[in-house]
Amino acid sequence: MTTNRFLWFFAMLGASLAFAAEPVREFSPLSQSNVVPGGTSGVPHITFEGHEYRLAYADVKGQTVTNEYLIDGESLSAWKTLIGVRHFRESKEVKDVLPPYLKQMQPHFAIKAEVVQKKDSSFPMDVALIMWLIAPDKSYYEYNLHRFVQTPNGVMAYQFAERLPFSARLDVSATMKMQSARLAELFGLSAVTYESVESAAR
């Protein structure tokens, strides 16, 4: 895995990145899965950084399936960390997904995004975006690690998101210390997706 700025990649996408509004989440799945179905609650879960995240949200729009996982005690309206998985079923390549995604996200960026490539990936394209977002009311920042993977079954996206209270002098040292380990774990993540929380719990 290399921290490669991928200048050619952004040039291809025509992406000029900046910052400012409510973050939009994106995620996705692969063939082998880190999702553990069932459990005592019957709800699938993913373990990340030693914490158990349970499926809290599932949605299908066209051929895109979105799942969001939260730690027990947190909610979709009030969470500190979140794992997202999205499957773009009809997208054949990462370049089919990233241009519209970056266009959508551009108003939300606080600073330039960084691109990290998984050099030894078995997939044709396996990259992650490192992004800092801010809520429109400036009540919090949202730190995002967003991986996009080109697979035989469509493009998958995986996201780790963390909310940090807004501050003019935000101390991000703890977050940055964990970035390499989080990226490594995100690059190893794979998941199946569920079209509804109810069907997943069966």
SS (H, E, C) 115-142: EEECCCCCCCCEEEEEEEEECCCCCEEE
Handedness of CA 120, 125, 131, 137 (dihedral sign): negative
**For range 68-81, the mean pLDDT:** 95
Per the structure, the complete domain to which residue 27 belongs is given by 7-193
Q: Which residues pair with 182 in a beta bridge?
A: none
The pLDDT of residue 35 is: 55
- For residue 73, tell me if it sits in a domain: yes
Q: For residue 133, count CB atoms less than 10 angstroms from its CB and return exposed for 0-12, middle for 13-18, buried for 19 or more.
A: buried
Question: What's the residue count for the chain?
Answer: 202
- For residue 202, tell me if it sits in a domain: no
- For residue 201, tell me if it sits in a domain: no
Category of 17 on φ-ψ map: left (φ > 0), alpha (ψ -120 to 50) or beta: beta
CA 134 to chain centre: 16
The pLDDT of residue 183 is: 96
The confidence band for 39, taking pLDDT boundaries of 50, 70 and 90, is very low
Secondary structure letter of residue 93 according to DSSP: S
CATH of the domain at 78: 3.40.1000
- For residue 200, tell me if it sits in a domain: no
Q: What is the rounded CA–CA span in Å between residue 88 and residue 150?
A: 10
Which residue stretches of the chain are H helix? Answer: 7-13, 94-105, 173-177, 179-187, 197-200
Q: Is the confidence at residue 21, as pLDDT, over 80?
A: no
- For residue 198, tell me if it sits in a domain: no
Q: 181-200: per-residue pLDDT in tens?
A: 999 999 999 999 999 988 77
Residue with tokens 């979105």: 66
**How many domains does one find in the chain?**
1
- For residue 199, tell me if it sits in a domain: no
Q: How far is CA 85 from CA 4, 8, 13, 57, in A?
A: 24, 27, 23, 10
- For residue 2, tell me if it sits in a domain: no
- For residue 36, tell me if it sits in a domain: yes
The pLDDT of residue 188 is: 94
The pLDDT of residue 36 is: 54
